[in-house]
């Protein structure tokens, strides 16, 4: 069934000139009207923002999400023994990096676009990369720096100088510690080591835990709630990661991919650390009571520790992972293991730099900024509107478009003076107001004057990025079909990705992408609020 063009009542009657930040006709008319208003009226109070829909992120969770990407640094005796899971019996003397430079690690991270790093301060083998007072199995027992070294300390100092956020991984499973398996004794031991890490090295932004443990290992009950309370007390700005939160959850795989439906909303009461449903971890829960966004971890190499026989993934592969992690409302935690010299390998650095260049080449320019933007409705104030549709052209989450309440349609329109060519859509919600959107689609006007669906999807969140075959059009329509409450959109962008291999088509044709029909004629029904 064909869908005729539906033009909003306040659509511009002629093509709008190009502006760096386009002004829609409603805004233009509003500005004109202000010139004739009494001075007393122009000082009237502004209309307040909509009420956030719970749950919403904490300040620490917001800072975590805004990071978008982080580097994971797996380093320790395994680096020198060609192992992944050390037994805890390796001689500390094997740990002797001849050229270790935490400054180099931080420089590589920052120059590659990463603002956060997480170090394996202790992996499953129990070897500590700081001189812990609770074990003899640490850098103090190694020949590195004549037993006076402190990898965590050097990394913390380098991170602070460069303004890079620091996180630590302290493995619950400890294959060296004799008291492992004795519940009370080991939990005291673990919390003692956690206290050292969280009181010696300045601000810690993320504490990373997991439930990894080999088959046939000693039974061990971890006092997670005690651990979490200690972390909150010592590092209130840190988020706590585990496969079940409390602040950040594991996405459920180590390939770096999130599900196409990705809610930051979750029910912590429905999961247990070490025993989670992978589908639930990937998708989240729109009816959940907790804000627990997902983190996607993956290694640049086949293994998590450095091995001389392994090579890094290509920059194009990392770009694909980026689309499927950050582009699906998650943070990408990319492991880049230092080598046995104590440096990040040149081949890994080259890939990271290429990956950074690819991202910049695609996302540094929003083609939508050359358009005139208007909306199906806008939440209006007495003399102004801080919720104008033009806000969606400003990158970030702290300004946004809001529709008027009790509307049956939610749509944003982009009108271009000339045709634009693109194959990527990027959309953000102001997540500080809660995650809202269930379903959406993007339309393009074809040569017959009808709307064709370019792509549709589920969930937006902090950032949603979708790829599709190349589109050429001069008028676009972004439609929200279902939402938990009136939708709010903070950023709407279109880009051209000339790197990824995609099928090219014209808006008047029908094509297929990844086995599913992408372009079809659009039937725009009324939008829907889902009862929570």
- 232-251 pLDDT, tens per residue? 999 999 999 999 999 999 99
Tokens of 30: 């509003």
- Please tell me the total count of domains within the chain: 2
Closest CA to 402 of 413, 412, 415: 412
- Give the CATH number, domain containing residue 267: 3.20.20.80
- Check residue 309 and give its pLDDT: 98
What value does the mean pLDDT of the chain take? 89
Residue 70 sits at the vertex; the CA angle it makes with 163 and 107, to the nearest 5 degrees, is: 45
Whether residue 425 is found in the same domain as residue 457: yes
Whether residue 81 is found in the same domain as residue 108: yes
Whether pLDDT at 210 is above 90: no
How far is it, in rounded angstroms, from Cα 532 to Cα 526? 19
Closest CA to 174 of 191, 150, 151, 157: 191
| Position 187 confidence tier, pLDDT thresholds 50, 70, 90 | very high
- Check residue 1 and give its pLDDT: 38
Residue at 194 is within a domain: yes
Residue 411 sits at the vertex; the CA angle it makes with 407 and 415, to the nearest 5 degrees, is: 140
Q: Is 183 exposed, middle or buried (0-12, 13-18, 19+ CB in 10 A)?
A: middle
Whether residue 182 is found in the same domain as residue 154: yes
Whether residue 349 is found in the same domain as residue 309: yes
Q: Are 119 and 169 in contact (CB under 8 A)?
A: yes
Using only C-alpha atoms, the chain has a radius of gyration, in whole angstroms, of 26
Tokens of 411: 């749509």
Whether residue 323 is found in the same domain as residue 378: no
Whether residue 416 is found in the same domain as residue 382: yes
Beta bridge partners of 453: 443, 520
Closest CA to 179 of 126, 232, 143: 126
Distance (Å) of CA 97 to CA 91, 104, 118, 145: 14, 14, 19, 9
- Please tell me the total number of residues recorded for the chain in this structure: 532
| Tokens 């939160």 sit on residue | 245
Q: Can you give the residue range of the structural domain that contains 330?
A: 59-364
Residue 528 sits at the vertex; the CA angle it makes with 526 and 530, to the nearest 5 degrees, is: 170
How far is it, in rounded angstroms, from Cα 347 to Cα 70? 19
Residue that terminates a domain, selected from 342, 364, 386 = 364
Residue at 175 is within a domain: yes
| Tokens 């809610």 sit on residue | 263
How far is it, in rounded angstroms, from Cα 377 to Cα 9? 10
Question: E strands along 48-164, which residues?
Answer: 69-73, 116-122
Asked which of 33-37, 54-58, 279-283 is least confident by mean pLDDT, the reply is: 33-37
Does the model's pTM come out above 0.95?
Answer: no
Whether residue 87 is found in the same domain as residue 161: yes
Cα 522 to chain centroid distance, Å, stands at: 30
Whether pLDDT at 16 is above 90: no
Residues 6+ apart with CB under 8 A from 150: 129, 130, 131, 139
How far is it, in rounded angstroms, from Cα 167 to Cα 240? 10
Residue at 25 is within a domain: no
- Check residue 14 and give its pLDDT: 34
Whether residue 453 is found in the same domain as residue 484: yes
Residue that terminates a domain, selected from 348, 364, 380 = 364
Residue that terminates a domain, selected from 304, 335, 364 = 364
Whether residue 129 is found in the same domain as residue 271: yes
Residue at 324 is within a domain: yes
Whether residue 88 is found in the same domain as residue 179: yes
How far is it, in rounded angstroms, from Cα 445 to Cα 375? 16
Residue at 297 is within a domain: yes
Whether residue 387 is found in the same domain as residue 342: no
Whether pLDDT at 21 is above 80: no
How far is it, in rounded angstroms, from Cα 458 to Cα 481? 10
Asked which of 4-13, 227-236, 371-380 is least confident by mean pLDDT, the reply is: 4-13
Residue at 145 is within a domain: yes
How far is it, in rounded angstroms, from Cα 120 to Cα 73? 6
- Give the CATH number, domain containing residue 394: 2.60.120.260
Residue at 36 is within a domain: no
Arithmetic mean of pLDDT, 147-154: 98
Residue at 54 is within a domain: no
- Check residue 532 and give its pLDDT: 47
Beta bridge partners of 416: 371
Whether residue 263 is found in the same domain as residue 169: yes
């Amino acid at each position: 069934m064909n869908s005729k063009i539906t033009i909003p009542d306040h659509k511009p009657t002629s093509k709008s000139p190009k502006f760096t930040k386009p002004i829609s006709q409603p805004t233009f008319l509003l500005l004109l009207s202000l010139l004739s208003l009494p001075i007393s009226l122009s000082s009237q109070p502004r209309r307040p923002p909509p009420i956030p829909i719970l749950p919403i992120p904490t300040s620490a969770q917001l800072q975590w999400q805004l990071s978008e990407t982080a580097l994971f640094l797996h380093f320790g005796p395994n680096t020198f023994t060609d192992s992944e899971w050390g037994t805890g019996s390796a001689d500390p003397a094997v740990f002797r990096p001849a050229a270790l430079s935490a400054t180099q690690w931080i420089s590589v991270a920052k120059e590659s676009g990463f603002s956060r790093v997480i170090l394996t301060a202790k992996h499953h083998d129990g070897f500590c990369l700081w001189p812990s007072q609770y074990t003899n199995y640490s850098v103090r027992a190694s020949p590195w720096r004549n037993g006076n070294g402190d990898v965590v300390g050097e990394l913390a100092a380098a991170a602070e100088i460069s303004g890079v956020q620091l996180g630590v991984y302290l493995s619950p499973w400890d294959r060296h510690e004799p008291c492992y398996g004795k519940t009370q004794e080991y939990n005291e031991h673990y919390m003692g080591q956690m206290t050292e890490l969280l009181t010696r090295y300045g601000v810690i932004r993320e504490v990373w835990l997991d439930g990894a443990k080999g088959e046939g290992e000693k039974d061990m009950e971890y006092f997670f709630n005690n651990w979490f309370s200690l972390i909150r007390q010592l590092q209130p700005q840190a988020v706590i990661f585990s496969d079940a939160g409390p602040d950040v959850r594991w996405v459920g795989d180590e390939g770096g991919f999130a599900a196409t439906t990705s809610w930051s909303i979750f029910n912590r009461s429905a999961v247990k650390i070490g025993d989670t449903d992978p589908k639930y971890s990937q998708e989240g829960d729109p009816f959940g009571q907790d804000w627990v966004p997902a983190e996607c971890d993956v290694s640049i190499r086949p293994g998590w520790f450095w091995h001389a026989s392994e090579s890094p993934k290509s920059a194009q592969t990392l770009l694909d992972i980026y689309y499927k992690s950050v582009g699906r409302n998650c943070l990408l935690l990319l492991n880049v293991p230092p080598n046995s010299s104590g440096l990040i390998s040149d081949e890994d650095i080259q890939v990271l730099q290429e990956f950074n260049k690819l991202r910049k080449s695609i996302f540094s320019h929003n083609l939508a900024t050359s358009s005139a933007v208007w909306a199906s409705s806008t939440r209006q104030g007495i003399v102004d509107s801080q919720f104008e549709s033009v806000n969606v052209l400003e990158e970030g989450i702290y300004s946004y478009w809001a529709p008027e309440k009790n509307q049956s349609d939610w749509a944003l329109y982009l009108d271009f003076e000339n045709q634009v060519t693109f194959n990527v859509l990027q959309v953000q919600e102001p997540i500080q107001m809660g995650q809202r959107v269930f379903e959406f689609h993007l339309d393009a006007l074809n040569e017959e004057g009808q709307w064709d669906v370019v792509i549709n999807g589920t969930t937006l969140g902090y950032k949603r990025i979708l790829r599709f075959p190349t589109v050429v059009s001069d008028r676009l329509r972004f439609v929200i079909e279902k939402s938990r409450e009136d939708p709010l959109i903070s950023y709407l962008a279109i880009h051209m990705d000339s790197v990824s291999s995609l099928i090219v088509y014209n808006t008047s044709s029908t094509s297929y992408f990844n086995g599913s029909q992408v372009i079809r004629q659009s039937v725009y029904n009324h939008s829907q609020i889902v009862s929570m």
